[in-house]
Amino acid sequence: MTQAKQPHVVVIGGGTGMPVLLRGLKDLPIQLTSLVTVADDGGSTGRLRDEMEIPAPGDIRNVIAAQSEAEPMLLELFQHRFAVGNGLSGHSMGNLLLAAMTSVTGNFNTGIKEISRVLNVKGKIYPISNDNMALHAKMTDGTIVSGESNIPLSNKQIDEVFLSPQPVEPLPNAIRAIEKADLVVIAPGSLYTSILPAMITPKVDEAIRNTAGSVVYVCNVMTQDGETTGYTASEHVQAIIKHIGDGCVDAIVVHNEPIAQTVRAIYAEENAEPVVYDTERLLEMGLEIIEGDIIDYEQAALRHDTSKVAKLLYSIIETS
């Protein structure tokens, strides 16, 4: 299959779940594009945002590493985090390189493009916006909590999230990628603080609703304390629909094997539990359910298996 005829696959999200998907997808015969949230404000990322007034580089850095085909030592250097106790304390080398390249080129997206070229990235990577944006959550009690890192710590139930300052300008290339996609994949991850911030950017939500391609949500395996405590699979999807609009999700990928009690016990200490896949409700919502054993059992923490999920997603393209 020539590259021009390869299907266009767009992955949207951020956090730790997105790179897991990308490591498997980059090896498939597809044209891969990643659209990454830039609302993170914690750690090294937060400090660089404040000091240099740039969009958050941390999630972008992890996506670059996932899609890179550079030598392992070069990637290890890119992901290196400086030890506590010096002027670079806690900073990641990749974050510093992204900040420096943004300064050199005068544009965050151009900086990403240049570093992607140096690290031999397969596919394209776009920040959802070049703007330095902040995330806020309105809680069910009406209070507002500001800052991506503060939201899960509030011990309150989230009603909805929104961005400031408005209007946030989306990257035109991000919109075009969604519009021409054959498959749009909503990555797993922190639903309100990693996934939705990328999707609620103005015009991005509209593009997701109107794309001719299938929109597939790879559902989290475990709930997350402070964000999705007690959420079923359908409630994850319902949160997406509430923010993006009816008809924005066509299918859901779920893990259909029991989680071992030993693993449950570890996560219970973090007030997390396996996401209940309420199949009947998902079908009532008109969703296609794509299920399988998609966990990587070699990992200490519960993570999706990059190759298993990639194969499932590619099967959607083959049958569409």
Mean pLDDT confidence for 172-189: 96
Query: 269-288: buried (b, 16+ CB within 10 Å) or exposed (e) per residue?
Result: eeebbbbebeeebbeeeebe
Model pLDDT for residues 77-114, shown as the tens digit of each residue: 888 888 766 666 777 888 889 989 999 999 999 999 99
Give yes or no: residues 205 and 314 share one domain: yes
Q: What is the pLDDT of residue 5?
A: 84
Phi/psi of residue 135, nearest 5 degrees: -105, 140
Q: Report angle CA 61, 66, 69 to the nearest 5 degrees.
A: 110
58-77 residue pLDDT tens: 899 999 999 999 888 888 88
* 197 in the same domain as 95: no
Is there a single domain that holds both residue 79 and residue 210?
Answer: no
Q: Do residue 63 and residue 139 come from a single domain?
A: no
Kindly state whether residues 135 and 248 are assigned to the same domain. yes
Whether the pLDDT of residue 3 is over 80: the answer is no
Judgement on whether residues 262 and 315 belong to the same structural domain of the protein: yes
**Are 66 and 78 members of one domain?**
yes
Rounded to the nearest integer, the mean pLDDT of the chain is: 90
pLDDT band at 56 (very low <50, low <70, confident <90, very high): confident
| One domain, residues 311 and 258 | yes
User: How far apart are the C-alpha atoms of 247 and 268, rounded to whole Å?
Assistant: 34
Model confidence pLDDT, tens digit, residues 252-279: 999 988 888 888 888 888 889 999 999 9
In this predicted structure, the answer to whether residue 42 has a pLDDT above a threshold of 70 is no
Higher-pLDDT residue of 88, 26: 26
Last residue of a domain, one of 122, 142, 173: 122
In this structure, are 103 and 169 located in the same domain? no
Are 25 and 168 within 8 A, CB to CB?
Answer: no
The residue out of 106, 122, 138 marking a domain boundary is 122
- Same domain for 198 and 313: yes
Q: Taking residues 183-202, report their average pLDDT.
A: 95
Same domain, 85 and 202: no
Structural domains counted in the chain:
2
Can you give the residue range of the structural domain that contains 45? 41-122
Residue where a domain stops, chosen among 80, 95, 122: 122
| Chain segment 266-316, per-residue pLDDT in tens | 888 888 999 999 999 999 999 999 999 988 887 777 888 999 999 999 998
pTM for this entry: 0.93
| pLDDT for the residue numbered 80 | 87
Could you tell me the strand order of the sheet in which 288-292 lies? 124-127, 31-36, 8-13, 183-186, 214-218, 251-255, 288-292
80 vs 26 pLDDT, higher one: 26
- DSSP string over 45-94: HHHHHHHH-----HHHHHHHHHHB-S-HHHHHHHT-BPPTTSTTTT-BHH
Residue 179, C-beta contacts closer than 8 angstroms, at least 6 positions apart: 207, 210, 211
Instruction: Report how far apart the first and last C-alpha atoms of the chain are (Å, whole number).
Output: 17
Lowest mean pLDDT among 28-32, 55-59, 211-215: 55-59
Same domain, 187 and 255: yes
Contact 199, 191 (CB under 8 A): no
158-164/144-146 β-pairing: unpaired
pLDDT on residue 43: 65
